[in-house]
Amino acid sequence: MPVEPVFETRIDRLTILDEHGRFDEELGAGLIPDEDVVALYRHMVICRHLDEIAFKLQRSGRMGTYPENRGQEATSLGAAYALQKKDWLVTCYRENAGLFWRGLPMELVLLHWMGDERGNEIPEGLNVTPLAIPIGTQMLHATGLGWASKYRGDDGIACTFFGDGATSEGDFHEAMNFAANLDLPVIFFCQNNSWAISVPTRIQCSAPTIAQRGLAYGMDCIQVDGNDIFAVVKAVRDAAERARTNQRPTFIEAVTYRLGDHTTADDARRYRDDEELEMWKLRDPMIRLRGWLDARGLWDDSKQASLQEEAEAHIAAAVQRASDIEALPPTEFFKNMYKTMPPNLQQQMSTMRTSSLGRNPETADQSAVS
């Protein structure tokens, strides 16, 4: 029997505005109106300032562990800009820029990391999910949301974000398998920032690109420069068109970098060398976009100074709203767990005692409660 190829493909890498300021006029023509580029840049600066303040809040003991978004703003922001309001953003925990662009109040993210569950109460109509801390679970939720949109015929899409490390989780493969085999309108957006906490991508994936993992499921796959917001917008728009037209999922690998530690509980100096960090600082998406604006006369230092003052006031107000929120009574913990509270929780709420340690709250010695 002759040997014949049964499958051949290639994976393209998309860049429109590179780290040296070169802009592909053909691919980038009309992609984002100038006034929108200015708005996106302004948004990046404000989000970057939030990161700086959140870091200080954690270090001063006013907030718990916090994962910086610094360096990865173009990924979720570009996606949020390219998608429609009816589409779902299904995030993990480094997508502040996209969530805030969609309209999520900044104080909710601060409350989340302060340990206040009200930070997860998403306002009606935003179509974003609460931050997902377990690695990879949100991809299954996105597949379910995409399935629901297809069933209802509402032309909606679910776009889920995750890191390179999450592609080693079983949840990732189950979500990809369902989405591909059932023809669901889902965009799998991998933010490959080179590190899964302290584990480098080369150990997470032996293939030349993480995007190749989508090929096993018959998906369209592309790698983009994740620090190029123009490339992100184009890739997501193309994927969204495929999803709406053909009900097919797409895998996007956005190559980016987290300039900070994994979280404030991490010290990246223990596993990452200074040379690598300095190289990626030069590829900062915010610096790149500022250069594009300067070259076209759309921005200058006076506008930057004014924006910095605006950012400081904006973030200070968000911190104030999060800090001044009124404390809730302990009963609120019970009320938001189930639509209909089960009897055991009703009993616990009324007595403020638990039988989980083998003690009946109806007969236990109440004097033992402090």
Per-residue pLDDT, 234: 98
**pLDDT digit string, tens, across residues 62-114:** 999 999 999 999 999 999 999 999 999 999 999 999 999 999 999 999 999 99
The amino acid sitting at 263 is T
Question: Mean pLDDT across the stretch 3-31?
Answer: 95
**pLDDT digit string, tens, across residues 308-350:** 999 999 999 999 999 999 988 888 878 777 889 998 888 888 8
**Is 363 a residue whose pLDDT tops 80?**
no
The amino acid sitting at 177 is N
Q: Which residue has the tokens 């006076």?
A: 302
Pairing of strands 195-196, 199-200: antiparallel
Q: How far apart are CA 334 and CA 229, in angstroms?
A: 42
Fold of 13-323: Rossmann fold (3.40.50)
**pLDDT digit string, tens, across residues 272-288:** 999 999 999 999 999 99
Angle at 197 between CA 20 and CA 271, to 5 degrees: 75
Question: Mean pLDDT across the stretch 137-148?
Answer: 98
Residues 6 or more apart from 69 whose CB is under 8 A from it? Answer: 47, 51, 94, 95, 96, 97, 258
Contact 201, 195 (CB under 8 A): yes
pTM (2 d.p.): 0.91
The rounded mean pLDDT for the chain is 93
Here the tokens at position 89 are 């953003």
Is residue 269 annotated as part of the catalytic site, yes or no? no
Question: Mean pLDDT across the stretch 352-366?
Answer: 59
Per-residue pLDDT, 360: 57
Per-residue pLDDT, 369: 43
Contact 243, 187 (CB under 8 A): yes
Per-residue pLDDT, 358: 54
**pLDDT digit string, tens, across residues 243-260:** 999 999 999 999 999 999
**Is 192 a residue whose pLDDT tops 90?**
yes
* Residue spans per domain, the chain: 13-323, 330-356
Residues linked to residue 220 through DSSP beta bridges, in sequence order: 250
Q: Which residue has the tokens 């974003």?
A: 128
Is residue 41 annotated as part of the catalytic site, yes or no? no
Catalytic residue among 22, 59, 269, 271: 271
Q: How far apart are CA 87 and CA 157, in angstroms?
A: 5
Contact 152, 136 (CB under 8 A): no
**Is 365 a residue whose pLDDT tops 80?**
no
Catalytic residue among 258, 272, 283, 288: 258
* 287 phi/psi in degrees, rounded to 5: -65, -40
The pLDDT confidence band at residue 367, using thresholds 50, 70 and 90, is: very low
* 75 phi/psi in degrees, rounded to 5: -70, -65
Q: How far apart are CA 213 and CA 101, in angstroms?
A: 29
Write the CA distances from 289 to 38, 43, 138, 298, 307, integer angstroms. Answer: 9, 12, 30, 11, 15
**Is 361 a residue whose pLDDT tops 60?**
no
* 191 phi/psi in degrees, rounded to 5: -95, 95
Range ranked top by mean pLDDT from 219-228, 343-352, 358-367: 219-228
Here the tokens at position 257 are 């970098």
Mapping DSSP to helix (H, G, I), strand (E, B) and coil, where does residue 57 land? Answer: helix
Question: Mean pLDDT across the stretch 104-127?
Answer: 95
For residue 195, what is the enclosing H or E element? strand 195-196
Neighbours of 111 (CB within 10 A): 21
Q: How far apart are CA 205 and CA 51, in angstroms?
A: 29
Higher-confidence position of 46 and 8: 46
Is residue 66 annotated as part of the catalytic site, yes or no? no
Per-residue pLDDT, 351: 86
Catalytic residue among 48, 262, 283, 288: 262
Q: Which residues of 123-154 are buried (b: 16+ CB within 10 A; e: fewer)?
A: eeeebbbbbbeebbbbbbbbbbbbbebbeeee
